[in-house]
Amino acid sequence: MNFSLSQRIINNITNEKKLQQTINAKKSVYCGFDPTAPFIHLGNYIQLLNLKKISKSGLKPIVVIGDATGQIGDPSGKSEERNLIDKNTIIKNTKNIKQIIEKILPNATVLFNASWTKEYSFLDFSRKFGKYISISYMLEKEQIRTRLSIDSGKNKGISFTEFSYMLLQAHDFYYLYRNHNCSVQIGGSDQWGNITAGIELIRKIEEDESDACGITFNLLTKEDGTKLGKTEKGTLFIDINEKIPFKMYQYFINQKDSDLETLFLFLTEYSEDNIHKAIKKHFEEPWKRRGQKELCAEVFKNLFSEEQFFLCEKISNKLFKNNFESLSTKDIEAICGTLNVIKINPNCNFVDTLATINTIKSKTEARRLLSAGAIKINGKKVLETDVLSVTQILLKKRFLFVQKGKKDVFLFDVSEKNT
């Protein structure tokens, strides 16, 4: 197949012959995103990167922002009904997501499906398109079948609202096929049912052998089976307006060596040869985390900038060397998203403050840890007798780093509203 996509990331292709025909004809390829969150997450980023890769074969990239479908919500991959999002939130989210898309794919055409969906009343849409897709056809799709087969004790089933989503997305493909010379839709493996429904709608309306086809890609999971971008605090979203995207930097730097090859495959435009070279170089001195840094730098090129990568690296080095005094207020604020941040009153006794940490059970334990030298304050060991009040040891008159043992690091934040 004439495009620069590794077979290892492809989940399925509806028809390889038709796909090659559309590539030869230099038609368009599209991927859609619903603005159900303020920003995209790493899973969305992967699909945008896949769109960028496949467009290098000559296909013209189109990104559809679902400001119409986003008001309903895709049931794919969901075990229960989504909360409906109001129009003002959709508008705000759409603006943010469009900005990210234009940064990653500056040459893509960005469209909004409300612009063509709004042309129809409910009855008009049902009469014109609903008659082509049967209920039995939709019930065969995994995203519908799964929702209907959930344990009946907890099953809320699927509402008509979410049930209608498949037809709306199918209509998006049909609209693009007729008006934007688009014959290919791509998406994650959970989008197979929606993509094939679009192909079916096109086939039935056109009544000819259309060249519409689809590609789905594997969803990226780490070695432990968890989805990429899932952290203890939830999904990792991408805000390209962050001046210091330290949380994103830390996420990549902390990835396991065993996940690196897969992460390079999904998250960069590296060829398989370049991936093998990067991995080989990494394992020559794995303690330097060279592979994680190279991966992070490549992602930052698309989402942020090289300057922001080096800024995050500088902050990380200062933290690693316990050089807290050299951190600026902006540096520390960037770190807040990656540490356990505890709001405190600066007038508290330090022992009382330590007792607010959930891994320290009491003031007695706090005193014992201090006496044993198991507590570091701003990178330095301190005894209880050395500390009278929090105000005496604050950084920038606001922050306090507390390290318990080798791994537990807490950031105390003093602000006016806490005094």
Q: Are residues 144 and 270 in the same domain?
A: no
Q: Are residues 52 and 189 in the same domain?
A: yes
In a domain, 1, yes or no: no
Pairing of strands 10-13, 213-217: antiparallel
Per residue in 341-358, pLDDT (tens digit) is 888 777 777 788 788 787
Helix (H) or strand (E) holding 28: strand 28-33
How many domains does the chain contain in total? 3
Q: What amino acid occupies position 157?
A: G
In the block, residue with structure tokens 């037809």: 167
User: What pLDDT is stored for residue 395 in this prediction?
Assistant: 84
Tokens of 301: 């090129």
In a domain, 59, yes or no: yes
In a domain, 222, yes or no: no
Q: Are residues 209 and 239 in the same domain?
A: no
Nearest to 125 by CA among 164, 92, 153, 71: 164
Mean pLDDT of the region 156-174 = 89
Give 303: exposed, middle or buried? Use CB within 10 Å, 0-12, 13-18, 19+: buried
Q: Are residues 142 and 33 in the same domain?
A: yes
Q: Are residues 88 and 54 in the same domain?
A: yes
Per residue in 316-338, pLDDT (tens digit) is 888 888 888 888 888 888 888 77
Measure the CA–CA gap between 358 and 338, rounded to whole angstroms.
Answer: 17
User: What pLDDT is stored for residue 152 in this prediction?
Assistant: 47
User: What pLDDT is stored for residue 7 in this prediction?
Assistant: 85
In a domain, 300, yes or no: yes
In a domain, 358, yes or no: yes
User: pLDDT grade, residue 208 (50/70/90)?
Assistant: confident
Q: Are residues 38 and 138 in the same domain?
A: yes
Of residues 300 and 340, more confidence is placed in: 300
CATH number, domain containing residue 39:
3.40.50.620
Q: Are residues 124 and 207 in the same domain?
A: yes
Whether the CB-CB separation of 401 and 411 falls below 8 Å is answered with: yes
In a domain, 352, yes or no: yes
Q: Are residues 129 and 194 in the same domain?
A: yes
In sequence order, the β-bridge partners of residue 412 are: 342, 400
Whether the CB-CB separation of 56 and 269 falls below 8 Å is answered with: no
Examine the fold and report which residue of 217, 244, 262 is the final residue of a domain before the chain moves on. Answer: 217
What are all long-range contacts of 6-10, with beta carbons under 8 Å and residues at least 24 apart? Answer: 6/265, 6/272, 8/218, 8/265, 9/50, 9/217, 9/218, 9/265, 9/266, 10/215, 10/216, 10/217, 10/218
pLDDT > 90? residue 63? yes
User: What pLDDT is stored for residue 379 in this prediction?
Assistant: 82
User: What pLDDT is stored for residue 419 in this prediction?
Assistant: 41
Whether the CB-CB separation of 340 and 411 falls below 8 Å is answered with: yes
> Mean pLDDT in the chain?
87
Mean pLDDT of the region 115-124 = 94
User: pLDDT grade, residue 138 (50/70/90)?
Assistant: confident
Name the 3-class secondary structure at 411.
strand
pLDDT > 80? residue 96? yes
Measure the CA–CA gap between 252 and 298, rounded to whole angstroms.
Answer: 11
Of residues 399 and 294, more confidence is placed in: 294
Query: Which range among 134-138, 283-287, 350-354 shows the weakest confidence by mean pLDDT?
Result: 350-354
Q: Are residues 256 and 148 in the same domain?
A: no
- pTM, to two decimals: 0.85
Mean pLDDT of the region 212-225 = 85
Q: Give the domain extent around 54.
A: 10-217
User: What pLDDT is stored for residue 217 in this prediction?
Assistant: 95
Examine the fold and report which residue of 182, 217, 252 is the final residue of a domain before the chain moves on. Answer: 217
Mean pLDDT of the region 373-391 = 73
In a domain, 223, yes or no: no
Give alpha helix (H) positions in 63-210.
87-104, 114-117, 122-128, 135-139, 142-148, 160-163, 165-179, 192-206
Examine the fold and report which residue of 157, 185, 217 is the final residue of a domain before the chain moves on. Answer: 217
Q: Are residues 74 and 213 in the same domain?
A: yes
CATH number, domain containing residue 297:
1.10.240.10
Helix (H) or strand (E) holding 263: helix 260-267
CATH number, domain containing residue 371:
3.10.290.10
In a domain, 329, yes or no: no
Per residue in 102-112, pLDDT (tens digit) is 999 999 999 99
Q: Are residues 19 and 162 in the same domain?
A: yes
Percent of the chain with pLDDT over 70: 89
Tokens of 415: 């602000």
CA distances from 98 to 43, 66, 80, 178 (A): 16, 11, 28, 24
Helix (H) or strand (E) holding 408: strand 408-413
> What single DSSP character describes residue 268?
S
Measure the CA–CA gap between 264 and 419, rounded to whole angstroms.
Answer: 47
pLDDT > 60? residue 1? no
